[in-house]
């Protein structure tokens, strides 16, 4: 799939020793041969990891000279104080030196255990090795994406190609995340990591607006376990090498760019929910006829984070009372007596009340790997899809001893 | 323990057939031979069960003529619309008739499956049977308390005896609740059910104030799974038969009454956390030096509802980074760099940073059935204890197929 990367981007990953398994990569570099504009969204968690703090300041200082992202797994570099900040800076400067670019043109991102200092010896040799590969123009998408995975069971990559005027433009996105997934990102402020590369020529303002919209309906609408990470980071780099006419904040070109960016981020968000720790099924919560985005999202999040709803879905139990109860505890004003709930195409509650339905059909439907739950509030005309997964025995196994 | 009931109260429970297991009681009556004052706290969930709606209106209509509580398990009578309300009313009128008291002197409460209509035939014969026992003055505490249990593994009863002036006064409380436990109750507005009986003579205003305070630091500070029920109800009945001088809203008598009531509700809350569905340990989160109650509670609740924290505790893993990350996503302003975290007596983080500690000592400590986690925020002088439990494989087993 290396021909799917937008023009001018080279990415690769190595094993530097943070991961015990030698086949697991743990350090990646994302590099652009030409300077990029950037937009970023970062976690709103009050506890922000060092690379998040650093990348937020890098994004402020500079607007169109970005060249690279250096990222590691296995250590979140969070709750590591000044030493953590210094380590994140060192990662950037090592990457900058290895690639022959300016320190301030490099973003850092990390994911893994919280509260542990970085092993900078390993990081340093990993960056050298990865930079050498990139300097030889060696692209290895699967190694790069493997390096950012933690409990992920499959790599998450979405490439798109489309036209702006007569020019072919590409957007390529990757993401990691399976646990501690409940992104709540704000500009310039997700351990969701997502790096999106494009060769489109697009104004800074348009990039920020497009990324904000895309994250709002994708990463900010996915939850595995309700735990918002200290490290969530989504970065969009655009190097303009497609040679298209510049995309501004409005017009058809913006709409086409936004549509494709949203397709990338939404597909990645769905992949994250599908790969949720221990998940046996992807669950889409379709909020219908809500009053507005905030209400729809808050209620969907309450349903998506309800252990009772999630275990019922794991048990293939059409326990719609738990769904309505979760809506009720979301602190959103709504009228239970107007609410209709469907599991797949089976209406299980109407006007907030039980309706007759075939339990066996519902159970059969709930055996699918992909489930849709529709909550029609009938109190507005705002529709929102929210992505989550069930809660299984494996979630407990995975997380009862993650550090060791 | 029947001699521990306050003067004038008779309680009993029967099996009326809602439960499949014939040894499991499913209907109870709590009766006072003399009229009572009452105070009540009910769920703030927007979806309120029929008996909650009804009991809230009963509490409004009348102030010192209360005589009984009728309560069933196995069916929550929630999301049952007008028919549910009529059924709840019928429960009250049947109990009133059986006991020879006024309809408006009886409260109803239910717990169990949401969205199912009540089997009023069974309920009706159960009420008759229980009323007959009570009319024969037959007290059976364990049968009454057994009748309100669902996934509870042990009955939760706390009796207190103390002096008001020269008079001996009793407060006796019971509670049920093991899942869907994250009470958020407000006056006159928890499926926590708790019924507290006292023979104290106490003014209505004093009862409301005392119950509000008691619930604030007990039931509203306990979470098993973060799911606030549609049925949470806490009722306090006081019949004055102790013959004490009346307890008003201030003074030493009020303080003594409040202290004892708080001891009852706190002990019940701790029992609920200890008996959380699938729980292997009771976890007390000690928030120290917070700014205020709301901040302390919100942060403690974020920690207590974090699946990552709960699974780590189940795994005996001193993963304090997850604790701090949960604090960070609580939307409460605090300074991570001032925060100290202790697991038992072992300091695991200071100034928001990792400190050296013995992982083996921490693991050993975490094998205990009772764990204390102290989060010292160093940003105020408000202390609050919050009660929860770990998240185990059994939670999944219990809830993956609760309805059948």
pLDDT of residue A151: 83
Q: Angle at Cα B15 formed by Cα B265 and Cα B280, nearest 5°?
A: 45
Of B354, B347, B352, residue with least CA distance to B379: B352
Residues A315 and A331: beta-carbon distance below 8 Å? no
Q: A328 and B180: CB-CB below 8 Å?
A: no
Q: What is the pLDDT of residue A188?
A: 46
Rounded to whole angstroms, how far apart are CA atoms B335 and B376?
11
Give the contacts of A115 (CB within 8 A, at least 6 positions apart): A78, A79, A80, B320, B321, B324, B349, B353, B354
Of B226, B307, B317, the CB nearest to A401: B317
Q: Which residues of B touch A48 (CB under 8 A)?
A: 328
Helix (H) or strand (E) holding A298: helix A293-304
Structure tokens at A283: 């669950």
pLDDT tier at B341 (50, 70, 90 boundaries)? very high
How far, rounded to the nearest angstrom, does the alpha carbon of residue B47 sit from its chain's CA centroid? Answer: 18
Does the pLDDT of residue A338 top 70, yes or no?
A: yes
Task: Give the mean model confidence (pLDDT) for residues A236-250.
Answer: 93
CB contact under 8 A, A321 and B79: yes
Cβ-Cβ contacts under 8 Å, B112 against chain A: none
pLDDT at B190: 39
**Max avg pLDDT among B49-58, B128-137, B154-163:** B128-137
Mean pLDDT of chain B: 91
Residue whose pair of structure tokens reads 């059924």 in the numeric block: B87
Q: Name every chain B residue with its beta carbon within 8 A of the beta carbon of A355.
A: none
Q: What is the mean pLDDT of residues A322-347?
A: 92
Question: Cα–chain-centroid distance for residue A167?
Answer: 28
Options B80, B111, B191, B305, the catalytic residue: B191
Q: Is the pTM of this model over 0.90?
A: no
Does residue B282 surpass a pLDDT of 70? yes
Question: Which of A363-367, B306-310, B367-371 shows the lowest mean pLDDT across its residues?
Answer: B306-310
Which is catalytic among the residues A191, A284, A305, A374? A191
Average pLDDT over every residue of A339-362: 94
Question: For B401, which DSSP code?
Answer: T
CB within 8 Å: B311 and A352: no
Q: Which of A95, A59, A9 is nearest to A233 (CA)?
A: A59
Q: Do A399 and B324 touch (CB under 8 A)?
A: no
Q: With CB atoms and an 8 Å threshold, state whether A114 touches B322.
A: yes
Whole-number Å distance between alpha carbons of B75 and B230 = 12
A226, A228, A294, A399: which to substitute to probe chain B, counting the most B Cβ within 10 Å? Answer: A399
pLDDT tens profile A41-78 = 888 888 889 999 999 999 976 578 999 999 999 999 99
Q: Which two tokens stand for residue A70?
A: 């250096």
Would you state the pLDDT for residue B188?
Answer: 46
Which residues touch A105 (CB under 8 Å, ≥6 apart)? A35, A62, A65, A66, A67, A68, A96
Residue B401 has its nearest CB partner, among A307, A317, A326, at A317
Nearest CA-CA partner of B114 in A195, A228, A262, A312: A312
Return the residue of B nearest to A114 by Cα: B321
B390 → chain A, closest CA residue: A400
Q: Counting every residue, how long is chain B? A: 404
Q: Which of B264, B37, B247 is nearest to B163 (CA)?
A: B247
Nearest Cα of chain B lies from the Cα of A296 at a distance, in angstroms, of 15
Q: How far is B239 from chain A (nearest CA, A)?
A: 34
Kindly report the backbone phi and psi dihedral angles of residue A75, in degrees, each rounded to the nearest multiple of 5, phi listed first.
-145, 120
Burial of B217 (0-12, 13-18, 19+ CB in 10 A): middle
Is residue B367 within 8 Å of residue B280, measured between CB atoms? no
Considering only CB atoms, B326 lies closest to which of A227, A327, A334, namely A227
Q: Please tell me the distance from the alpha carbon of residue A4 to that of residue A160, in angstroms, as a whole number.
A: 8
In the three-class reduction of DSSP (H, G, I as helix; E, B as strand; rest coil), residue A160 is classed as: strand
Range name among A133-137, A330-334, B41-45, B226-230 with the lowest pLDDT average: B226-230
With CB atoms and an 8 Å threshold, state whether A314 touches B402: no
Which of A83-87, A322-326, B254-258, B343-347 is least confident?
Answer: A322-326
Strand boundaries in B55-148, DSSP class E = 66-72, 106-110
Which of A281, A311, A398 is most worth mutating to test chain B (most B CB atoms within 10 A of its CB)?
A: A311
Query: Which pLDDT value is given to residue B404?
Result: 47
Most A CBs within 10 Å, among B400, B401, B402, B403, to test the A interface: B400
Test A321 with B228 for CB contact under 8 angstroms: no
Spatial distance between the Cα atoms of B18 and B25, rounded to a whole number of angstroms: 9
**From CA B81, how far away is CA A336, in angstroms rounded?**
10
CB contact under 8 A, B329 and A80: no
pLDDT computed for residue A236 by the predictor = 92
Q: Read off the pLDDT of each residue in B162-186 and give the average, rounded to a whole number.
A: 84
Model confidence at B177, in pLDDT bands (50, 70, 90)? confident
Residue B46 confidence (pLDDT) = 84
| Mean pLDDT in residue range B364-393 | 95
Contact A116 B180 (CB under 8 A): no
Q: What is the mean pLDDT of residues B261-285?
A: 93
> What is the per-residue pLDDT across A113-148, written as a single tens digit (0 to 9) for each?
888 999 999 999 999 999 999 999 999 999 999 999
Query: Which of A42, A44, A46, A392 best probes binding to B when mutated, by most B CB atoms within 10 angstroms?
Result: A46
Annotated active-site residue A191? The verdict is yes
A194-208, A273-287, B170-184, B353-367, range with the lowest pLDDT: B170-184
- Mean pLDDT for the stretch of residues A149-162: 90
Across the A/B interface, how many CB contacts are shorter than 8 Å? Answer: 211
- How large is the average pLDDT for residues B140-156? 91
Decide if A400 and B179 are in contact by the 8 Å CB cutoff. Answer: no
Task: Assign B95 to helix, strand or coil.
Answer: helix
Closest-CA distance, B371 to chain A, in angstroms, reads: 16
């Amino acid at each position: 799939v290396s021909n799917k990367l937008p023009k001018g981007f080279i990415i690769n990953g190595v094993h530097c020793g943070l991961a015990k398994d030698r086949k697991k990569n743990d350090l990646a570099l994302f590099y652009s041969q030409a300077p990029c504009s950037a937009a970023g969204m970062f976690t709103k968690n009050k506890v922000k990891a060092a690379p998040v703090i650093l990348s937020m300041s890098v994004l402020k200082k500079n607007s169109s000279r970005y060249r690279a992202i250096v990222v590691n797994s296995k250590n979140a570099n969070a709750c590591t104080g000044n030493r953590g900040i210094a380590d994140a800076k060192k990662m950037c400067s090592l990457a900058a030196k290895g690639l022959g670019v300016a320190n301030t043109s490099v973003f850092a991102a990390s994911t893994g255990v919280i509260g542990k200092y970085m092993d900078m010896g390993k990081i340093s040799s990993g960056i050298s090795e990865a930079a050498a590969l990139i300097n030889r123009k060696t692209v290895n998408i699967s190694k790069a994406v493997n390096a950012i995975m933690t409990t992920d069971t499959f790599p998450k990559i979405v490439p798109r190609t489309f036209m702006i005027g007569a020019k072919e433009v590409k957007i390529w996105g990757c993401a990691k995340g399976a646990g501690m997934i409940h992104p709540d990102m704000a500009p310039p402020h997700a351990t969701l990591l997502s790096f999106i590369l494009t060769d489109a020529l697009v104004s800074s303002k348009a990039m920020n607006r497009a990324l904000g919209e895309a994250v709002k309906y994708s990463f900010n609408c996915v939850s595995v376990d309700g735990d918002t990470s200290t490290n969530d980071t989504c970065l969009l780099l655009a190097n303009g090498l497609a040679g298209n006419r510049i995309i501004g904040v409005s017009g058809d070109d913006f709409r086409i760019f936004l549509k494709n960016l949203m397709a990338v981020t939404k597909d990645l968000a769905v992949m994250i929910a599908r790969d949720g720790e221990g998940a046996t099924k992807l669950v889409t919560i379709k909020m219908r006829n809500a009053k507005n985005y905030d209400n729809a999202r808050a209620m969907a999040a309450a349903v998506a984070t309800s252990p009772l709803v999630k275990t019922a879905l794991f048990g293939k139990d059409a326990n719609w009372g738990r769904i309505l109860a979760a809506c009720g505890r979301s602190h959103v004003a709504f009228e239970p007596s107007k609410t209709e709930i469907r599991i797949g195409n089976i209406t299980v509650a109407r006007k907030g009340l039980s309706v007759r339905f075939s339990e066996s059909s519902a159970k059969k439907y709930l055996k699918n790997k992909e489930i849709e739950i529709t909550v029609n509030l009938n109190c507005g005309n705002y529709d929102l899809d929210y992505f989550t997964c069930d809660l299984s025995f494996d979630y407990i196994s995975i997380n009862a001893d993650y550090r060791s």
